[in-house]
Structure 1
Amino acid sequence: MAVHAPDPITHEGVVGGLRRRPELHLVGEAEAVVVVVVAEVVDEQVKTVLRRFSRTVGARPVLIVSDLKEAHLLEAVECGVVAMLWRREATPDGIVRAVVAAAGGGGSLPPDLQGRLLKQVGRMQRGAQAQGLAAAGLADREREVLCLVADGLDTSEIAGKLAYSERTVKNVLHGLMTRLHLRNRAHAVAYALKEGYI
């Protein structure tokens, strides 16, 4: 694991509290499986750091934060955060539990953040259903198009089979890939198969 903090004093304080813990092995940020990120708030700079660790380095971020606005909770999760602790409640034992959970593929949230996150997910789900998205997160049209892509059909064949224009098929695929951060059609099909959507 590694520690990323906004200043040297905070960094040394966290590292000093964890250095002698036998459950943890401190390494550089580039080698870390889990990175503890300490921040006052989740602002653009912190989101950039979280994304860098989760997407570029491949580490699982544990966020220790002083204040978290409602809108920033889900943004932190979208940036790859798998565990969070309130800074005022963060003890060496609590940090160790969060890091061990993150390293094992799990997560950890304080109870009040769990409640807030569940409310946000519920609101998002209701909004998705109102827009015609299925509970799984794919609209029926997206699922139909992906099934045909998985069957090896090209854009014109899909358009003919579903009585859509080629432009509509391309727009459906583009919207899906953009929303889910998928690189290409093969990635979209692999994602849909892995998640059980098709």
Structure 2
Amino acid sequence: MTAGAAAGADRLRFRSAAVSHGRGPTAVPRFGQVTVDVRASDPLSREGVVAQLRPRPEVRLLGSPGSEARVLVLVADTVDDDVHVQLRHTQRTSETRTVLIPTQITAQQLVSVAECGIGGIIRRADATPEHLVDVICSVALGQGHLPGDLLAQLFTEVGRVQREVLGPRGWHTTQISTRERDVLRLLAEGHDTAQIAKVLCFSVRTIKGTLQGVMDRFQLPNRTAAVAYAMRQGLI
């Protein structure tokens, strides 16, 4: 094959592997074809997705459910207990990332699947072959995908949980409580234990216990390390 013919073949291959949504083409991932396992709550839904993916050069469908796939495509009408079981099992037992295709999903369900390590979500109505392959390749590369309106719902729901559930109990989504944050902030400003206890109106014993709790939870050797960790993580 001449150099010109080879270049033409390469261009043809790139076009056949491209996915376009007005954002330009998406090339085949650097590791080659993405191995994909498709599962669904009913055979008809599974066969529909398989039929969409089979002709695509970007993916390679695995025939055995037990095979190690880079991406699991999970099709479901709603996010029920069976979906959570499959998501948690995949998260615990493999490095496979999951693309969920639900018919409908609520804000609370969105938070619950996020906790299960979901890689991407596509509504079933939006799951065209091009869009599905685009998301599969992105998720395989370690990226995530969430429709804009669902992302807004996720932010709103996380804020609601913090405001109505965690906040009144002194907890926080950053894994430190309001009291812990206040103690670490004052410690970072140079106050000693007695001064912190006076400012926050707690006993010295309570302040020491609070600091020890942070050090134990994050496996930090001393108070200086606790302050440094909190600052690195943006907690104070």
Distance 1:163 1:88 in 2: 58
Contact 2:170-2:179 within 8 A present in 1 as well = no
Counterpart AA for 1:125:
Q
Secondary structure of 1:77's partner?
A: helix
The aligned counterpart of 1:66 is 103
Q: Tell me the residue number matched to 1:163.
A: 205
Partners of 1:139 and 1:24 lie apart in 2 by 45
Q: CA deviation at 1:125?
A: 3.4
Runs of 5+ in structure 2 lacking a partner? 1-35, 184-203, 221-225
Secondary structure of the residue aligned to 1:123 is: helix
CA deviation vs aligned residue, 1:164-189 (integer Å, no higher than 9, x gap): 6xxx78xx58xxxxxxxxxxx79x53
State the SS of the aligned residue for 1:64.
strand
CA contact (8 A) 1:82 1:106 kept: yes
CA distance in 2, matches of 1:189, 1:140: 20
Residue 60 of structure 2 is aligned to residue 22 of structure 1? no
CA distance in 1, matches of 2:80, 2:118: 14
Is 1:4 matched up with 2:39?
yes
SS of corresponding position for 2:144: coil
Cα deviation for residue 51 of structure 1 reads: 1.1
Correspondence for 1:136: 174
Could you tell me which residue of structure 2 aligns to residue 85 of structure 1? Answer: 122
1:33 aligns with 2:75: no
Report the Cα offset of residue 99 of structure 1.
0.9
Which segment is superposed worse, 134-143 or 82-91? Answer: 134-143
Structure 2: distance between partners of 1:119 and 1:15: 34
Contact 1:66 1:87 in 2 (8 A): yes
> Structure 1: where are the runs of 5+ without partners?
145-161, 174-184
Pick from 213, 216, 219 the counterpart of residue 189 of structure 1. Answer: 219
How far residue 131 of structure 1 moved from its aligned partner, in angstroms, is 3.4
Structure having the higher Rg: 2
Higher helix share: 1
1:131-182 per-residue CA deviation (whole Å, 9 max, x = no partner) reads: 33456331266688xxxxxxxxxxxxxxxxx736xxx78xx58xxxxxxxxx
Aligned partner of 1:106 among 132, 143, 146: 143
- SS of 2:100's equivalent? strand
Residue 78 of structure 1 aligns with an amino acid whose one-letter code is E
4+ residue runs of structure 1 moved beyond 6 angstroms?
140-144
TM-score (norm 1): 0.69
- Partner Cα separation in structure 2 for residue 141 and residue 24 of structure 1: 50
8 Å Cα contact 1:129/1:135 also seen in 2: no
The 1-side partners of 2:83 and 2:43 are apart by 16
**Are residue 119 (structure 1) and residue 169 (structure 2) matched?**
no
The answer (yes or no) to whether the contact 1:40–1:67 under 8 Å persists in 2 is yes
Count of aligned pairs? 167
Deviations 1:6-63 (A, max 9, x none): 1222212111111121221223443112101000000111110111112222311110
**Distance (Å, rounded) in 2 between the aligned partners of 1:89 and 1:62:** 13
What's the RMSD between the two structures over aligned residues?
3.3
What is the DSSP-based 3-state SS (H/G/I as helix, E as strand, rest coil) of the residue aligned with 2:60?
coil
